[in-house]
Amino acid sequence: MSNFEIGLWSFPALLLLIFLRMPIGLAMFVTGLVGLNLVTDGNTVALAKLKTETYSTFSSYSLSIVPMFLLMGQFATIGGMSQALFKASESWLGHRKGGVAMAAVGACAGFGSICGSSLATAATMSQVALPELKRYGYSGGFSTATLAAGGTLGILIPPSVILVIYAILTEQNIAKLFLAAFIPGILAAVGYIITISIYVRLNPDSAGTRPPVPMHQRWRALVDVWPVLVVFLLVVGGIYLGWFTPTEGAAVGALGTGLIALVNGGLRGRAWLDCFYATAKSTGMIFFIVLGAAFYNGFLALTQVPQELSRWVVEQGFSPWTVLTIILVLYLVFGCLMDSLSMILLTIPIFFPIVSVMDFGLSAEEFAIWFGIIVLIVVEVGLITPPVGMNLFVINSMDRETPISKTYGAVMYFVGSDIARVVLLVLFPGITLGLLRLFH
């Protein structure tokens, strides 16, 4: 069997390990390690790579941004920022039909601007918003679907851990990727709010109403979210003004949210240790997935699978848009099988070389950034696509009374909104690249 054939057979072998419930990082690590032994006729290369790859992965300065953003999200959670965001959104939108659900989406967007993780955003905001949605008569399936969809804003609205990983894999500028994600992130939030408006009109019994909040209370609630605005402007604004690098900005954000949580009384007792423990646990999981992906992708590089696939696609004469469509459909399928980080790490080293040699009418840098945002959005859709959308299970675990089938039915409205947004951004790349072209 040739090295290329071994590389091709590694895909079903990897999927088999995942179906057998082996952790995705370990599955990629094992497949890569065994593959390296097979294509190099021994374990010398595999053991040498085990030493060098482990050190280079865990000592990477670029990856140090990940624990900083995760710690920022932990501090923001216990600092009461999620409650303040939801209260402010609810005071302005809650009296409308479906307004409490709209407020939950708005709060998810705000929290995503200081969190960077989809699952963390979904889990945190569900603790705040689910009781209020139940209180005002929102159906269980509609409530959980709204929060699952809103949680996906955590990885799209900057800062985003997934965008950082993509930037490292494709050697792109993190700050430019963050800038390009702004308008798609806003479109996502607006699209979800429109979806909620349509849903409650088609299903009038799915949402109750609540009395309007006096105007002075609305302004007071809006003032209470100033810590979120300060941290967001400090981190993102500081990066674009050149005050500090993205990694330094993440550290500044973690410090800022930590100080706010301390002032708000959220860091009492063991809260400090709990934040650092949760951050270390999440960082360890992410880093091991990165290590497993590095081993597997290193093995694939030796087998020439990405290069041969790229050459084969070019020789077939497929149009760039056909290839892009096929790739995006594959991401939707993968989204039903694995989490967003694993998808990015597993597929980008294979798909990016294929599409990067095609002509989409963009410069190399613009294409890489545009493609990254499109992929991120489709990965985001995978998080809420039945039957195995990760966000759906996270939210339903917090509402045991609601059958997950009810969540599946309601969330398809949000999936439709996401697909429409993907089509819009694919057809009009200028929407994604507009701010980038304006400021650079």
| pLDDT exceeds cutoff 90 at 184 | yes
- In angstroms, the CA 404 to CA 141 distance is 7
Q: Phi and psi at residue 287, in whole multiples of 5°?
A: -65, -35
Select from 357, 350, 379, 364 the least CA-distant residue to 433: 364
Question: Rounded distance, CA 79 to CA 228, Å?
Answer: 10
Q: In this predicted model, which residue has the larger pLDDT, 79 or 248?
A: 248
C-beta atoms surrounding 285 within 10 Å:
15
pLDDT, residue 230, reads: 84
* C-alpha–C-alpha distance, residues 59 and 46, integer Å: 20
Q: Does residue 83 contact residue 128 with C-beta atoms inside 8 Å?
A: yes
Give the other-Cβ count within 10 Å of 409's Cβ: 15
Residues 6+ apart with CB under 8 A from 157: 109, 112, 113, 181, 182, 185, 188, 189
How sure is the predictor about 221, in pLDDT bands with cuts at 50, 70 and 90? confident
Q: What number of other Cβ atoms are within 10 A of residue 177's Cβ?
A: 23
Question: Who's near 371: CB < 8 A, 6+ residues apart?
Answer: 352, 355, 356
Given this model, what pLDDT does residue 368 score? Answer: 92
CA distance 121 to 130: 13
Would the pLDDT of 34 be above 70?
yes
Burial grade of 342 (CB within 10 A; 0-12, 13-18, 19 or more): buried
pLDDT 10s digits, 281-337: 888 888 888 888 888 888 888 888 777 777 787 777 788 888 898 888 888 877 766
Would the CA dihedral through 400, 402, 406, 408 be positive or negative?
A: negative
Which band of pLDDT confidence, cut at 50, 70 and 90, is reported for residue 419? very high
- Say whether the peptide bond before residue 353 is cis (omega within 30 degrees of 0): no
Residue 47 CA to residue 53 CA, distance in Å, equals 10
Q: What does the DSSP 8-state code read for residue 240?
A: H
Rounded-to-integer distance, Cα 111 and Cα 102, Å:
14
Tokens of 248: 């330094």
Mean pLDDT confidence for 52-57: 81
Q: Which pLDDT score, from 0 to 100, does residue 70 have?
A: 85
Q: How many residues would you count in the chain?
A: 440
Residue 174, token pair as written in the block? 């993190």
Of all helices (H) and strands (E), which one includes residue 154?
helix 153-156
Average pLDDT of every residue of the chain: 85
- Written as six digits, the tokens of 18 are 């995942």
- 440 — pLDDT class (breaks 50, 70, 90): low
CA 295 to chain centre: 23
pLDDT of residue 11 exceeding 80: yes
Tell me the percentage of the chain whose pLDDT exceeds 90: 14
The pTM score is 0.86
Angle at 273 between CA 270 and CA 275, to 5 degrees: 110
Is 140 a residue whose pLDDT tops 70? yes
| Helix (H/G/I), strand (E/B), else coil: 72 | helix
Phi-psi region of 265 (alpha: psi -120 to 50; beta: other; left: phi over 0): left
CA distances, 294 to each of 41, 49, 52, 285, 298 (Å):
20, 10, 11, 14, 6
φ and ψ of 49, to 5 deg: -70, -35
Q: What is the mean pLDDT of residues 115-120?
A: 75
Greatest mean pLDDT among 26-30, 193-197, 329-333: 193-197
Nearest residue to 114 via CA among 223, 260, 265, 217 = 260
Decide if 422 contacts 381 (C-beta within 8 A): yes
